[in-house]
Amino acid sequence: MVGLLMVAYTSSFIDRQIMSLLVEPIRADLGISDTQFSLLAGLAFSIFYSVMGLPLGWVADRMSRRMLIIVGMVAWSLMTALCGLATSFLALFIMRMGVGIGEAALSPAAYSLISDHFPPERRARAISAYAMGPYLGSGLALIIGGQVIEATTHLGQVTLPVVGTLEPWQLVFFAVGLPGIPIALLFLLVREPLRRGLAPQGSDTALLPFIGARRRLFLLLFLGFSVFGIAGISYLVWIPAVFIRVHGWSAGDIGVAYGLILLCTSVPGVYLGGWISDRLLARGRVDAPVLVAIGTMLALVPLVLVTPLLPDARGVLVSLAVVSLLFGMLNGLPGTSLQSVVPNQLRGQIVAAYFLIGTMMSLGIGPSLVAAVSDHVLGGPGKIGVALAIVGAVATLASALMLQASRAGYRDAVAVARAWR
């Protein structure tokens, strides 16, 4: 089950990350700026991904999580393919919103399924295995997508039956979108586990009152992990542009190099973060996922500041590998932290609430903030690396400080949650 969920998550991030390699052809064909492109890569997807997560999280807490994933995955795969038919900024914006609606179904259902299958002392590793999906998807998108872009560019325009004449970048969306449909059908093989960790009958399990009674804790957790997402997503979106604009690399070259870095460092890093968290939990550190997140963020601050500014491309790659390992270590920790302090009746909804804030901040603000600093403060596209360094370092440090402030309240909340059966 975890393996299939990871494949689904991987597929979703292939659909998302492919945009970062299509910056230049989309800008040229549609006549848009970096800021407009950042809206396509960020806000267009994130606004509906975030808003639809709450009602779909409610469905995940009450109905078949398996069927919810199947419907959502078919929807986002079709909408990704339809991005290949867009001929204007508005049309592509609308299609990206559709992708966001479909993908909003996955994580609330996935985290709930995993939490019912695994006890707390093994949960961080299981969730981290699922959370490898973003980096697997991003890495494969960069490697395979870069090569597909190179191949389709040589082909030039292609005319297909019914669809008509397509530019090379439009073909890429068909290539990455349609394979998600057969993957979705494999979820017919997944069984629904019994729901565990239910709060006693008569307890207040409505989402907003539950969060409201613990508002300081959830505010710090949500914002701490979400602000960090600004740094993580900004790197995924803009590092390819740094290599293309500053170091003169082609999309295919940076796609292979960055993709291999993500696969070789971020993917094992995700599991490493979960493994360390489980080991600390076994030793009695009930705030283990938050503690691991804080330490990793503090180690990242100087690295995210320096990496885009290094003058030699090889030096950037080496530093980027370390950054990507640490980014990976953090990827499974938000879900692990939240699943440990809510009853089963809220597991899907709490993930959706976190993604509402996290996605709007990371995807909705991150790429656009970097682009705005580059375009309007630093003087243009050539300064994208400086903008990325500034935004990444400030966001990472602020996140570590907020999570540190949450630790006492988090320990108290875990103690309460352990009484639920």
Give a three-class secondary structure readout of the chain: CHHHHHHHHHHHHHHHHHHHHCHHHHHHHHCCCHHHHHHHHCHHHHHHHHHHHHHHHHHHCCCCHHHHHHHHHHHHHHHHHHHHHCCCHHHHHHHHHHHHHHHCCHHHHHHHHHHHHCCHHHHHHHHHHHHCHHHHHHHHHHHHHHHHHHHHHHHCCEEECCCEEECHHHHHHHHHHCCHHHHHHHHHHCCCCCCCCCCCCCCCCCHHHHHHHCHHHHHHHHHHHHHHHHHHHHHHHHHHHHHHHHCCCCHHHHHHHHHHHHHHHHHHHHHHHHHHHHHHHHCCCCCHHHHHHHHHHHHHHHHHHHHHHCCCHHHHHHHHHHHHHHHHHHCCHHHHHHHCCCCHHHHHHHHHHHHHHHHHHHCCCHHHHHHHHHHHHHCCHHHHHHHHHHHHHHHHHHHHHHHHHHHHHHHHHHHHHCCCC
Q: Is residue 194 part of a domain?
A: no
Q: What's the confidence (pLDDT) of residue 67?
A: 93
Q: What's the confidence (pLDDT) of residue 202?
A: 63
Q: What's the confidence (pLDDT) of residue 126?
A: 92
pLDDT tens, residue by residue, 174-224? 888 888 999 999 999 988 888 887 777 766 678 889 999 999 999 999 999
Q: Is residue 126 part of a domain?
A: yes
Q: What's the confidence (pLDDT) of residue 152?
A: 66
Q: What's the confidence (pLDDT) of residue 188?
A: 92
Low-confidence ranges of the chain (pLDDT < 50): none
Q: Is residue 21 part of a domain?
A: yes
Q: What's the confidence (pLDDT) of residue 421?
A: 62
Q: What's the confidence (pLDDT) of residue 204?
A: 67
At 11, which CATH number?
1.20.1250.20
Domain tally, the chain: 1
Domain that holds residue 310: 2-189+206-417
pLDDT tens, residue by residue, 74-90? 999 999 989 888 888 88
Q: What's the confidence (pLDDT) of residue 108?
A: 92
Q: Is residue 350 part of a domain?
A: yes
Q: What's the confidence (pLDDT) of residue 133?
A: 86
Q: What's the confidence (pLDDT) of residue 34?
A: 76
Q: What's the confidence (pLDDT) of residue 156?
A: 67
